[in-house]
Amino acid sequence: MRARPDQIDAIRSASRRLVRELGFMNSTLAGTALPPSAVHALVELGVRGPMKAGDLAGLLHLEKSSVSRMVGKLVEGGLVKEKPGTPDGRVKVLSLTAKGDKLLAGIHDFARRQVAEALERLPDGQYATVVRGLEIYADALAGETATQPVEITSGYAPGVFARCLEMHISFYARSHGFGQAFET
């Protein structure tokens, strides 16, 4: 299914707004004195554990030379340490220092507060919709096919027929431009 130009523009607009609201346009991020790419690097090292600089560059979609300079600054700041890799000692494995772990805890606290405050403004029951929508969109941006989990149950379930009808109407509205007359 092809997206319409107005749908594309709406998603682009929302994406730009997310970037701004999350603070990625600021010179620093998450209550730190670090640029967004460095904060993201610390988060990934903290979540995924030690890794090579090349792997970090791939994960962040940054040039190796940019990551090398950024890592150098993080090492100088005492936030990241480099260890010779095995079996090739020329390859450096990056991990967080105790100071880096402490800063990362502050980053996580900042981000969790930011997300919690936003979620409190949502109508009840919309949390799962936001999470699933962001996951599907991120997967699509990464080139992965978005799939929804399927749950098969037997017996009567309230709203199943209405949901089937909604999916039928939505499909034909998208694929063939059917409107109110079809739905009626």
All residues at 6 or more sequence positions from 137 whose CB lies less than 8 Å from its CB, including other chains:
11
pLDDT of residue 89: 76
Q: What is the pLDDT of residues 16-63, one digit of tens each?
A: 999 999 888 888 889 899 999 999 999 999 999 999 999 999 999 999
Q: How far apart are CA 170 and CA 82, in angstroms?
A: 53
CA-CA-CA-CA dihedral for 89, 90, 91, 95, to nearest 10: 70
DSSP string, 1-55: -PPPHHHHHHHHHHHHHHHHHTTTTSSS-TTSSS-HHHHHHHHHHHHH-SEEHHH
pLDDT of residue 148: 64
pLDDT of residue 151: 79
Within 10 A of 143 (CB to CB), how many other CB atoms are there? 6
Q: How far apart are CA 119 and CA 126, in angstroms?
A: 9
Q: What is the pLDDT of residues 124-160, one digit of tens each?
A: 878 888 988 898 888 888 887 766 677 788 888 888 8
| 76: pLDDT strictly greater than 80 | yes
pLDDT of residue 62: 95
Q: What number is the average pLDDT over the span 165-174?
A: 84
Share of residues in the chain with pLDDT > 90 (%): 49
pTM here? 0.71
